[in-house]
Structure 1
Amino acid sequence: MEILRHIVVFIHITGFAVLFGAWAAEAFGGRRRFTRLMTIGMVIAAVAGLALAAPWGIEYELNYVKITVKLVVLLIIGALLGIGAARRRKSGSVPSVMFWSVGVLTLLNAGIAVIWR
């Protein structure tokens, strides 16, 4: 069961890597836009994170504060991606603050996943 949990952690981190990689490609490419790949990475991270939050055959207590903080950050990222995509369709661009916030929050969320015990 522990091997399965490690596989889900790997998928969770991979979701953040996809989201951050797609964001970084846009940032370093000089474009400020949200892509479908960013949304896919966020969904992968969210689904795997929810699977990790389920108490399935573990002998220790889950850190519900960490889970809540990560969920709130992920919801903010999702809201920024959704609002930014709608603004891009309407005006043709994403506000810089919104774009850079997604990158910072993604790094924050991945850092919380790895560092906070």
Structure 2
Amino acid sequence: MSGMEILRHIVVFIHLIGFAVLFGAWLVEAVARRMRFTPLMNWGLLIAGVAGIVLAAPFGVSYELNYAKIGVKLVVLLVIGALLGIGMGRQRKNGSVPPALFWSVGVLTLLNAGIAVLWR
């Protein structure tokens, strides 16, 4: 395994950690029936997003990158970020996140993971 392949695997690992942090923090709130957003969710989104952008760079790969898949995942990530931002604002104002925003973040996070695994 070349050095670039090892680096790419490390970035994939970091990307998965970002997903786990985002979804795990969301799941904790869902199970507790609190329906609120936490700063940890933002950190998970940031980690997954930055690592995802690094993975989209075509350095050191011997195959074609799927730019349609990358674009869809980026759009979903941006929507999740927008929903977190809107929800955090409403949470500061009203003390809670509207259920539609809360559940949308969880569903879209799982959708993004599903796209990563199932779209070839």
Amino acid at match of 1:59: S
CA distance in structure 2 between the aligned counterparts of 1:36 and 1:76, rounded to whole angstroms? 17
Q: Which amino acid aligns with 1:62?
A: L
| Distance in 1 separating the partners of 2:18 and 2:117 | 13
Could you list the runs of 5+ residues in structure 1 that have no partner in the other structure? Answer: none
Q: What does 1:42-81 align with in structure 2 at a 5 Å threshold?
A: 42-81=45-84
2:5 paired with 1:12? no
Q: How many percent of aligned residue pairs carry the same amino acid? A: 74
RMSD: 0.7
Of 23, 27, 30, 2:26 maps to 23
Number of aligned residue pairs: give it: 117
TM-score between the two structures when normalised by the length of structure 1: 0.97
Unaligned runs of 5+ in 2: none
TM-score (norm 2): 0.95
Residue 96 of structure 2 aligns with an amino acid whose one-letter code is S
Q: Distance in 2 between matches of 1:63 and 1:18?
A: 25
Match of 1:87 in 2: 90
* Aligned counterparts of 1:5 and 1:55: Cα–Cα separation in 2: 10
SS in 2 for 1:14: helix
The answer on 1:107 being equivalent to 2:113 is no
For 2:101, the equivalent position in structure 1 comes to 98
Q: Which moved more, 1:8-17 or 1:97-106?
A: 8-17
Shift, 1:57, TM fit: 1.3
Mapped partners of 1:21, 1:96: distance in 2: 18
